[in-house]
Structure 1
Amino acid sequence: MLIRAGVRPRLLARSPQKISQVVFDHADVMKADSTDPEQVIAATRGLDAIYWVNPSVVSEDPLGDYARATHALTSAVESNGIRRVVFQSSIGAEKRHGVGEIDGLAATETALDALEVNVTHLRCGYFFTNLLLDIDAVRQGHLRTVLPLDLPLAWVAPRDIAEVAALTLLNPSWRGRRAQAVHGPKDLSWREVAKILSAQVNHVVDVEQINDMTMRENYRAAGMPAKMADAVLAMSTGLRDDFQPEQQRSLVTTTPTTLASWAQDELIPALAAAADLRSSRPQFKS
């Protein structure tokens, strides 16, 4: 989006070789580990604005990783005199504590707010693309959540978050410290999500509410370290138990991409690719 706007952005990448070669014709790509202050400082010299996304990886210490990334970011902002920061945060960061991995985002918000810079925190809803992490459950037609099935939540396409971030970077007029929610087109309950998915994938997708301990056991069985499982689980329980979002839905926070259209563009092709992969595996008979 920035490239189409006529900007030549600088991209910080841990693995530059993973970026499409065509992008190199229109952007400057710098190798940098986002938890390494020296690398991030070196990669951001001469910039006047930065869009920052904390890394999210399977980790023995997810909140520690967020803290290290926060230190790298704030070190670069101060060392290089970067005057504007757009930070990808999350709904729930306003609680500051008790929301698992989102606590790491809240700590980044607090650290940026302490600097003498202009900062916009994008408080984003639940990503449509999280469903791709549960592609087998979608294929099998049975999703699980610890949330009440009729609890409405903001669901959003990451592409729409990118658009809000790009527009915010391109707008030089805002000042100070701001929090802007990115809510997607409408709030959806898990029951509504299952109904939409059923219509798009042409088979019934149901959803079951399970207890917290069972979900944690599922995360551990999938290979998550203990602290990671706790942090991921708390992202849901922290938004379930006595939470009221700071930003209410408005024209400013509402974005256009629907779950149905995202499913057509991304989920259905992912299901087809997964089916092709399974069919290509050798079959062994005993």
Structure 2
Amino acid sequence: MRIVVTTPTGNVGARVLRLLVQAGVRPVALLREPARLPPDLSGRVEAVRADQTDRDTVLRATAGADRLYWVNPPAPSGTDPLAQHAVCARVVADAVRENGIGATVFQSSAGAEMRHGAGDIDGLAATEEALDATGAPVLHLRCGYFMTNLRMSAGDLAGGVLPTPWPLDHPLPWVAPRDIGDVAAARLLGPPWPGRLVQAVHGPEDLTFRQVAEVLGEVRGQVVQAVHVPDADFRAALAGAGLTPPEIDAIAGMAAGLSNGFVPEQPRDAVSTTPTTLRSWAAEHLRAG
């Protein structure tokens, strides 16, 4: 089976790639810099230099593919994230349609079901719609809030603070990217499915930022206080860091759009619940140093 993997050095893609290799598949890895692949995968992976916004390159790289794992890559700094999503949506839809790819697993997000009003997630929603329009089998993985996002707060955590634009008592499904990779690989290697499916990946439990701060405090052996950052202040901080208005809208729009009573379309159940707890993840990655 010929399986193409995008973003193969990312938090999720790297896990998908390694699981496919361990399953006896020689996956095709699309990436800008093939030299970034781990040395131990040399000869076990077909590395293809590709920019996912380059239609011709992607079509050539996915020719003959039976399955495709697609992630929209981050937009280059200073550009419009939603414009990048739109380009990627057209490219992947053309690849699926013209190459007759048997099934695609798309890494989407909780909130994509809103279609509009959720910042950067609107770009994932547009990609879902583009893939749906091909009529080919597609599975949208609607993932929860990545635990790895907490790494961006490492400096604040050292001072005992966890700042967030999310309401402090708003529960979110927290998920480890490794677990998303496990689900994606299982679906890529599993039996075919007809038409369009949506599968949530919600982690083991929903947590508010107050609860997250408490867990992090226990893991780090210090008091950690969650602090709400109002939308206007959050946007001002992003602007102060040099982000453009489209970038600010994409980032701030996620919390602003999903804070007011949003409930994921897919319920938490045996299919959507994954095992890695925030406590175990934090113990490995966010211990006080």
1:237 to 250, 256, 262: 256
Q: CA offset at residue 26 of structure 1?
A: 1.3
Match of 2:93 among 64, 74, 82: 74
Larger deviation: 39-48 or 220-229? 220-229
Q: How does 1:94-243 map to 2 (within 5 A)?
A: 94-243=113-262
Deviation at 1:266, TM superposition (A): 2.1
Range moving further from structure 2, 55-64 or 112-121: 55-64
| Residue aligning to 1:45 | 63
Query: Residues 50, 59 of structure 1: CA spacing in aligned structure 2 closer, same or farther, 3 A cutoff?
Result: farther
Task: Confirm or deny: 8 A CA contact 1:90 1:125 kept in the other structure.
Answer: yes
116-125 or 144-153: bigger deviation: 144-153
CA contact (8 A) 1:60 1:227 kept: yes
Q: In the aligned structure 1, how far is the partner of 2:258 from the partner of 2:42? A: 40
Q: TM-score, normalised by structure 1?
A: 0.91
- Amino acid across the alignment from 1:33: D
The answer on whether the counterparts of 2:175 and 2:202 sit within 8 Å (CA) in structure 1 is yes
Partner of 1:62: 81
Distance across 2 between alignment mates of 1:13 and 1:229: 26
1:28 to partner: Cα distance:
0.7
CA distance in structure 1 between the aligned counterparts of 2:114 and 2:187, rounded to whole angstroms: 24
Q: Does structure 1 retain, via aligned residues, the 8 Å contact 2:34–2:47?
A: yes
- Which position in structure 2 is the counterpart of 1:247? 266
CA distance in 2, matches of 1:45, 1:179: 25
Contact 2:106 2:141 in 1 (8 A): yes
Give the whole-Å Cα distance in 2 for the aligned partners of 1:23 and 1:218: 41
Matched, 1:20 2:55: no
Q: By how many angstroms is 1:32 displaced? A: 0.4
Moved over 6 A (4+): none
- State the partner residue of 1:87: 106
The separation in 2 between residues aligned to 1:199 and 1:81, in whole angstroms, is: 51
Q: Which has the larger radius of gyration?
A: 1
Matched residues in 1 for 2:229 and 2:126: separation?
A: 30
Question: How many correspondences in the alignment?
Answer: 270
Deviation at 1:4, TM superposition (A): 1.0
Q: Residue 63 of structure 2 aligns to which amino acid in structure 1?
A: R
Does the CA-based 8 Å contact 1:90-1:124 persist in structure 2? yes
Find the aligned partners of 1:42 and 1:196 in 2 and give their Cα distance. Answer: 47
Note the alpha carbon deviations across 1:125-147, whole angstroms, 9 max, x for none.
00000011222112222121222
Find the residue that maps to 1:203 and give its secondary structure.
coil
Report the CA distance between 1:119 and its aligned residue. 0.4
Report if the CA contact (8 A) 1:53-1:88 is conserved.
yes
1:260 aligns with 2:284: no
Unaligned segments of structure 1, at least 5 residues: 273-286
Amino acid corresponding to residue 65 of structure 2 in structure 1: L
CA distance in 2, matches of 1:172, 1:52: 18
SS at match of 1:154: strand
Distance 1:113 1:237 in 2: 27
SS at match of 1:3: helix
Distance in 1 between the 2:187 and 2:80 partners? 32
Checking the alignment, whether the CA contact within 8 Å between 2:103 and 2:192 is kept in structure 1 is no
Residue 54 of structure 2 aligns with an amino acid whose one-letter code is D
Give the CA RMSD over aligned residues.
1.2
Aligned equivalents of 1:97, 1:180: Cα separation in 2:
20
Tell me which residue corresponds to 2:24. 6
Tell me what 2:53 maps to: 35
Q: Sequence identity, in percent?
A: 48
Q: Give CA deviations for 1:34-66 in whole Å, capped at 9, x if unaligned.
A: 111011111111111100010123342110001
Q: Does the CA-based 8 Å contact 1:51-1:86 persist in structure 2? A: yes
